Amino acid sequence: MCPSSDAFSKWSDGHGFCYSCNGYVPPHGKNLNDYTYEFLPWRGVDAKSFEQYGVKTRIDSSGKPISISYPYLSYSKVRSLEDKKFWTEGQTSPGLFGWDKFSPGQSKYCFITEGELDAISLWQTLAVPCYSVSSSSAAVRDIMVVRSEITNYERVYLAFDADTAGRTAVRNVARLMDSNKVYDVRFTEYKDANGYVEAGKAYELRQLCWASAKYLPEELTSRLSDFRKILSEEPKWGVPYPFPTLNEMTYGIRTGESVLITAREGVGKTEVMHTILHSILKGTTANVGGLFLEESNKRTLEAIAGIELGKPVHLPDCRTLPEEKAAAVERVVGSDDRLFIYKYNGISDPDDVLGLIRLLVAGYQCRYVLFDLINVVSGNDRQADERRNLDYLVNKLELMAVELDFALIFVSHVNDNGETRGSRYIAKAANIRIDLDRDIKANSTRTYITLSKNRYSSKTGYAGCIEFDPVSYTLKESKVADNDNIRDTQLLFEENKIKAA
């Protein structure tokens, strides 16, 4: 039946593949039992190397090799030897070819290629674990499945094809990992690893691989013509803050920068973060990551719904139907896989946090990440270790924001002296520092904003007053401010400048 189907692709020797059945179809009158399967040498790769990866050649009754099958964990990728057509047998799923062929820890280094035959060619040449993505376009998806295990290697060599698709895949994959671990194999004489092996140049391939340098982003620029092009771009506003005065002084939220929001406990930092989150979601189409470590995912979603509806939907006497909350969130977020919120599980290791944020940005393309509260990630209880962990985390986050070009907005508590709790370096690293202050004892609904650091425009000082509406549970900038409080805020600003110096 398959050979007469429109979905059947027939080749000159009578074999074929049915796209309707998603399977190989032998010539009329034959079945798969009429064939034998062997480990055979091919294109410079010996039979032993194919056996290492379980790659067998399908041979017909006349002794003619007709196809070769590369087994992944849940499916096989099959290649016709006659006309280089590919198809899959079994249920496809993301993952790396060869992932089940090596034991964890058996080598300090591993190689990842763009093709299965290239991985086998490299293993034959180097005798270290070699894996392959299923294609350049699926490289990020395939590696994300095993990312945590891959990063256990001291070095990860990316040996992708020397073409545009391969270079793009290298750039995208490198962003998933610590840049200190990623090495870039640049093929010169041939497009891929098998090209060297097939030409009998295994020695040259070995020399090229082990001479590879750490990955360096191709975005580095040194030409005057490129400088001219960069300078021709008009300065742009960032994504607006929901508070006009703050927005005017900072020119918005820009990617590649970090913004620190500080306040004493109970001032209302999280409500400000909720308002900024809602504003970014409404004002852009960008993906957003939210790490609110002091509240549940339900509370975060209710905050978004409450701001959208103008009422405190998280309170029991508000009597808001679940369907109404869900509709409000859907209206703000717009689509699946746009807002990524993290369910807190006690994470306290700085490297775990860095890995999570890197995954959000490089893996899920989040352009904005809101992180409340950085002081939660303090390692163990010893004061020296807390400071060291926070210093390390903040420094890495600052570098990552520039490397991956995303905006990081994060929160820190301050002590009674206005210093960031746990580490003074938190305030030194951020591009912008926004300080919040409210008279908690008087139960004031007004929060005063001070910009104590602003690398972009250098505008600092009083940055507006925001009013909390207990009825709608929303924050809006107040047009009328208490002059005494403004003066107090300015004094606090000057004190913090002296302490920072």
DSSP string, 316-344: GGG---HHHHHHHHHHHH-STTSEEE---
In a domain, 444, yes or no: yes
Scanning the structure block, which residue is given the tokens 């580490």? Answer: 423
Q: Does 494 have pLDDT greater than 90?
A: no
Based on the domain organization, do 66 and 115 belong to the same domain? no
Average pLDDT over residues 287-307: 92
Please give the structure tokens belonging to residue 216: 């360096």
Tell me which residue range forms the domain holding 196.
Answer: 99-214
Q: Which stretch of 78-92, 237-251, 410-424 has the lowest confidence by average pLDDT?
A: 410-424
For residue 224, how many other CB atoms are within 10 A of its CB? 8
Helix, strand, coil percent values for the chain (each to nearest 5): 35, 25, 40
| Last residue within a domain, chosen from 199, 214, 229 | 214
Based on the domain organization, do 453 and 325 belong to the same domain? yes
The closest alpha carbon to 405, from 290, 286, 291, belongs to 286
In a domain, 224, yes or no: no
Based on the domain organization, do 73 and 116 belong to the same domain? no
Write the CB contacts of 413 (distance below 8 Å, at least 6 apart in sequence): 262, 263, 264, 265, 373, 375, 420, 421
For residue 339, how many other CB atoms are within 10 A of its CB? 21
Rounded (5°) CA angle 205-210-213: 115
Gap between the Cα atoms of 18 and 1, Å rounded: 10
Based on the domain organization, do 48 and 116 belong to the same domain? no
In what side-by-side order are the strands of the sheet with 86-90?
36-38, 56-59, 65-71, 75-80, 86-90
Going by the DSSP 8-state scheme, the letter that residue 234 receives in this structure is: P
pLDDT tens figures, 329-381 = 999 999 999 999 988 777 778 888 899 999 999 999 999 999 988 887 765 45
Going by the DSSP 8-state scheme, the letter that residue 159 receives in this structure is: E
Based on the domain organization, do 168 and 65 belong to the same domain? no
Mean pLDDT for the chain overall: 85
- Which helix (H) or strand (E) segment holds residue 183: the answer is strand 182-184
| Last residue within a domain, chosen from 42, 67, 90 | 90
Locate all alpha helices (DSSP H) within 106-212, ordered by sequence. 116-126, 139-145, 147-150, 164-174, 193-198, 202-210
Please give the structure tokens belonging to residue 148: 């945590």
Average pLDDT over residues 212-230: 78
Task: Decide: 148 and 177 in contact? Cβ < 8 Å.
Answer: no
In a domain, 82, yes or no: yes
**What is the total count of domains within the chain?**
3
Widest CA span of the chain, in angstroms?
97
Average pLDDT over residues 79-83: 86
Q: With cut-offs at 50, 70 and 90, classify the pLDDT of residue 19.
A: very low
Task: Decide: 125 and 206 in contact? Cβ < 8 Å.
Answer: yes
The closest alpha carbon to 171, from 227, 243, 220, 102, belongs to 220
In a domain, 231, yes or no: no
Based on the domain organization, do 249 and 177 belong to the same domain? no
Average pLDDT over residues 267-277: 92
For residue 83, how many other CB atoms are within 10 A of its CB? 9
Q: Does 487 have pLDDT greater than 60?
A: no
Gap between the Cα atoms of 26 and 144, Å rounded: 36
In a domain, 280, yes or no: yes
Average pLDDT over residues 206-212: 95
Task: Decide: 136 and 168 in contact? Cβ < 8 Å.
Answer: yes
In a domain, 219, yes or no: no
Q: What confidence score (pLDDT) does residue 103 get?
A: 84
Gap between the Cα atoms of 112 and 208, Å rounded: 15
Based on the domain organization, do 335 and 465 belong to the same domain? yes
Strands (E), 193-351: 213-214, 258-263, 287-292, 339-341
Q: Which stretch of 4-13, 45-54, 291-300 has the lowest confidence by average pLDDT?
A: 4-13
In a domain, 288, yes or no: yes
Based on the domain organization, do 266 and 193 belong to the same domain? no
Based on the domain organization, do 202 and 289 belong to the same domain? no
Task: Decide: 194 and 45 in contact? Cβ < 8 Å.
Answer: yes
String of DSSP letters for 387-439 = HHHHHHHHHHHHHHHHHHT-EEEEEEEB-TTSPBSS-THHHHH-SEEEEEE--
Q: What confidence score (pLDDT) does residue 6 get?
A: 43
pLDDT tens figures, 435-476 = 999 888 888 889 999 999 999 999 999 999 999 888 888 889
Gap between the Cα atoms of 239 and 328, Å rounded: 22
